[in-house]
Structure 1
Amino acid sequence: MQVIHAKQALTTNGWQSDLEVTIGADGRIEHVGPVSQQPTHRTALLLPAPLNLHSHAFQRAMAGLTEAKSPDPRDSFWSWRRLMYTFLNQLTPDDVEAIAGLVFMEMLEAGYGAVAEFHYLHHDVSGVPYASLAEMSERIVAASGQAGIGLTLLPVLYQFGGCDLRALNGGQRRFGNDPEQFLRLHAGAAAAIAGGPADNAIGMAPHSLRAVDPAGLSAILSQAPSGPIHMHLAEQVAEVDEVQAHLGARPTDWLLANHPVDARWCLIHCTQMTEAETIALAQTGAVAGLCPITESSLGDGIFNGTSYLGGGGMIGFGSDSNIHIALFDELKTLEYSQRLRDRSRAALAKSDRSTGRVLYDAATKGGAQAGGRDSGRIAAGALADLVGLDDDNEWLCNRKGDAMLDSLIFGGRGQGCIRDVWSAGRHVVAEGRHFRREAIIERYKKTMNRLETDF
């Protein structure tokens, strides 16, 4: 049993001081209460560690490689995507495992306790399945095990190159499955998850309304009685126009009219929604999965956070392209986008909670729901996904409560305060460093030294 003494902690009952949290051998919190015994760990500030609800791990290896001007006179998400296809054409299963290992380590050091991996890189460079159809999923599971991070694996169905049902070509061929083959791949991924830690989970991800046709979407959803369902939705103006031209409705309107969207769903980005769509989606109980750093990098647009939260909607946060894995910066970027759009301040704050508190509460609650993970709170029975931080420094100066969270998120140095991270009770970060840091980085560097990066 592990015993943590926290000078202050954010619990389901709000802020508490001089708290004791015990973690059982099953990775769950056994008890939360006053200090009563000798600790195995001490921390100044204890927070629930959010789940990173949207990641494409392999894209971490592209960070910094897509900032030069392309031949396209107007660089956009679509020109970035073409470069991404070129890059992934050289990745082997070993490469993907090494890259994912680094990504998962960086997430833990950034304060995430678990990840939902939106996994669509399935086949070899010519689009031919590996001998084990779920080979790449197995590599993601292996990387998560090496890093010690809780994993919700989301195998992705990707059928077509667009709403006109054009065939996949180039790098897209590595993604492609028809619904029948996808369900077999999903069964293999589920078997890999079952062989890992008990806190891991399986879901599924129809990629988008561009890449999955209505029949394919219905076919896989009929075979998904439980588990999270994630899908990209309304990310780009061109995507919205394409879906409307072929399906007769904008993406959000079409999805809500044709499927019973509920709390199992996590819709990613949602940066191109009307006010009416925003309120309608908020009322379903689904999580809007936001990746503000990537959405800024790709020029996606600004999610309407004030209306969505005002309508009772749930949000959570992910690192998507993993260009910069920084939990507090994701939260800050969302808030700043609202301020820039509306020329306001404290856009998401409530009368009883500061901006940072609203954002952090949303990240923990929404992330847990999106990942189908019993986490996101400091309470008996929950998985012990926890982050411990130092407050005796020039950035926090022993602040308390919501002011502490605001300083972590908006002061720009919050990540440097992270000292300890637990994922389902696994103490994976201590003194600010992952327990396998050197080996994971060395493997990643060997992979990168072999890959072609001049494209």
Structure 2
Amino acid sequence: MTTLFVHNAFLPEGWTKNIRLQWDAKGDIQSIENDVSVRPGEPQATYVLPGMCNLHSHAFQRAMAGMTEIAGDSKDSFWTWRDLMYRYALHISPKQMQAIAAQLYAECLRHGYTAVCEFHYLHRDPAGKMYANPVEMAQRLIAAASQSGIGITMLPVLYSYADFNATPLREDQRRFTTNVDEILLMVQALEASRSHQVEVGVAPHSLRAASIDQIRELQQAMPAGRPVHIHIAEQIKEVEACLAASGRRPVELLLASGFVDQRWCLVHATHLTPGEVAGIANSGAVAGICPTTEANLGDGFFDLPDYIAAGGRFGIGSDSHVSHSVVEELRWLEYGQRLRLQGRNIAGNAQQKKVGDFLWQSALQGGAQASGRRLGKLAPGYRADLVVLDDTHPNLAGLPSGDVLNTWIFAGNDTLVRDVYVGGKQVVSNGRHCQQAQIESAYINCMRELRTL
């Protein structure tokens, strides 16, 4: 058993003083002792929180960050960005995928994420043929997670069509193409990878790329309890196309299928009617909100206050990885609502009026649910995924614990994460990842190769 004495710990019931965390060799918390004193020589920390799950990631897009911010000859949009992303995706090799993902995951760890849900659709080789090992690319991502130390939920993506009405895939989408049988074979092939650190779910890409019948077949064939993620209602054009094809909006159509429940994560869900907001909340699904990507791509704003009022569950993701900071996602989740509504202190309820505490606790719970893993709580039976903040930083030095999250999220831009443990293993020390030099070297070499294309 390993112990850590914590002066201020963010437990499910809120900040608690003078506790002792104890976890086993597998990285599961075994006990929490309250109102204790530090033992001679015992490791200790001032402020400790459960690590956050990044519930939506396309790891390969980390290598594109900053490369698409050039105006075109016509109006730029998500759709023009997507064309550039497709061209980029055609060139990435398995080795490069691992190097990019390891860099991303190490960065995420240094900023407070301890788990990731990888929405993985780069399945085939550049010619569009399946690799001899059909899960070659997925295993590279799992290897990158192992190298960095982050926990991962692998989500092989069902991607069969280019648009509604079973429109055939475009030539530049050839690396993504899969049918239900191929995805189920991938899930089976990845079964041996499942562990305390790895879960395997599935992800129909969107209602554009997978039909309701396919999604039903896929979900029914999946092992019980596995997570299911989907992009939905991200763009107005998508909503209009869905209405034209089916007579229903995307969320309305999906909810009408009757199979959305707590296993599901509806990513983005940007453009909703009041009925759809209530419908997602009532289903028990998680809304996967990715504020920096949604801002970068011009998606729009999620209807957060009405969703909170309806009891909806949400988490955050970094998606295209223009940012890998927990703080930036949560800050802009709140700031986007303030700009939209021209008000302040939007995220909260009668039980928790501190915006930072509400955002952190809510995103912890939503991210853990979306991951399908025992995450998001400092409690027995959960993973020992810990974020230790730097109590010597001027923003936090001597600060009462009740003010820590509001200060961390809403004051300044310094990284206040000092140490990070995943499954009880320390992977970040004094702000530096334990494999940072090796991971950065491989990433730099990878980017040299990609930038010559």
Which category of TM-score, normalised to the shorter sequence, fits these structures? over 0.9
1:209 maps to 207
Q: 1:445 to 1:40 in 2, by over 3 A?
A: farther
Corresponding residue to 1:55 among 54, 57, 73: 57
Amino acid corresponding to residue 134 of structure 2 in structure 1? L
1:169 maps to 170
Alignment of 1:120-269 (within 5 A): 120-191=121-192, 193-194=193-194, 197-224=195-222, 225-269=224-268
Alignment of 1:409-428 (within 5 A): 409-413=409-413, 416-428=415-427
Task: Give the Cα separation in 1 of the matches to 2:37 and 2:246.
Answer: 59
Query: Which moves more between the two structures, 313-322 or 350-359?
Result: 350-359
8 Å CA contact 1:163–1:243 kept in 2: the answer is: yes
Task: Give the Cα separation in 2 of the matches to 1:246 and 1:297.
Answer: 28
Q: Where does structure 1 lack aligned partners over 5 or more consecutive residues?
A: none
Task: State the 1:163 CA deviation.
Answer: 0.5
- 1:275 and 2:274 correspond: yes
8 Å CA contact 2:212–2:254 kept in 1: the answer is: no
For these two proteins, the number of residue pairs brought into alignment is 449
Amino acid corresponding to residue 298 of structure 2 in structure 1? G
Deviations 1:213-252 (A, max 9, x none): 1221122111113300000111000001111111220001
Amino acid corresponding to residue 187 of structure 1 in structure 2? Q
Amino acid corresponding to residue 70 of structure 1 in structure 2? G
8 Å CA contact 2:38–2:44 kept in 1: the answer is: no
Query: Which moves more between the two structures, 346-355 or 300-309?
Result: 346-355
Identical columns (%): 40
Alignment of 1:303-322 (within 5 A): 303-322=302-321
Corresponding residue to 1:43 among 39, 42, 45: 45
Deviations 1:255-308 (A, max 9, x none): 111132111100000111112211111111110001101000000100001010
Amino acid corresponding to residue 410 of structure 1 in structure 2? F
- 1:80 and 2:81 correspond: yes
> What is the TM-score of this pair, normalised by structure 1?
0.96
Q: 1:39 to 1:359 in 2, by over 3 A?
A: farther
Aligned with 2:302: secondary structure? coil
Task: State the 1:409 CA deviation.
Answer: 0.3
8 Å CA contact 1:3–1:39 kept in 2: the answer is: no
8 Å CA contact 2:290–2:319 kept in 1: the answer is: yes
8 Å CA contact 1:179–1:219 kept in 2: the answer is: yes
8 Å CA contact 1:134–1:189 kept in 2: the answer is: yes
Amino acid corresponding to residue 345 of structure 1 in structure 2? R
Q: Where does structure 2 lack aligned partners over 5 or more consecutive residues?
A: none
8 Å CA contact 1:98–1:444 kept in 2: the answer is: yes
Task: Give the Cα separation in 2 of the matches to 1:75 and 1:100.
Answer: 27
Task: Give the Cα separation in 1 of the matches to 2:412 and 2:321.
Answer: 18
Task: State the 1:111 CA deviation.
Answer: 0.7
Aligned with 2:113: secondary structure? coil
Q: 1:70 to 1:39 in 2, by over 3 A?
A: farther
8 Å CA contact 1:384–1:422 kept in 2: the answer is: yes
Task: State the 1:392 CA deviation.
Answer: 2.6
Task: Give the Cα separation in 1 of the matches to 2:436 and 2:373.
Answer: 26
8 Å CA contact 2:266–2:286 kept in 1: the answer is: yes
> What is the TM-score of this pair, normalised by structure 2?
0.96
Amino acid corresponding to residue 165 of structure 2 in structure 1? D
2:370 maps to 370
Aligned with 2:131: secondary structure? coil
Q: 1:350 to 1:391 in 2, by over 3 A?
A: farther
Corresponding residue to 1:64 among 46, 63, 66: 66
Aligned with 1:222: secondary structure? helix
Task: State the 1:39 CA deviation.
Answer: 5.4
Aligned with 1:113: secondary structure? strand
Query: Which moves more between the two structures, 217-226 or 404-413?
Result: 217-226
1:7 maps to 7
Task: State the 1:103 CA deviation.
Answer: 0.8
8 Å CA contact 1:160–1:166 kept in 2: the answer is: yes
Deviations 1:106-151 (A, max 9, x none): 1111111111101111001121000011111111111111111111
Task: State the 1:166 CA deviation.
Answer: 2.1
CA RMSD of aligned residues (A): 1.4
Aligned with 1:174: secondary structure? coil
Task: State the 1:351 CA deviation.
Answer: 3.8
Task: Give the Cα separation in 1 of the matches to 2:88 and 2:212.
Answer: 30
Amino acid corresponding to residue 209 of structure 2 in structure 1? A
Task: State the 1:352 CA deviation.
Answer: 3.9
Alignment of 1:390-405 (within 5 A): 390-405=390-405
Task: State the 1:170 CA deviation.
Answer: 3.1
Aligned with 1:283: secondary structure? helix
Task: Give the Cα separation in 2 of the matches to 1:349 and 1:198.
Answer: 33
Task: Give the Cα separation in 2 of the matches to 1:49 and 1:407.
Answer: 17
2:102 maps to 101
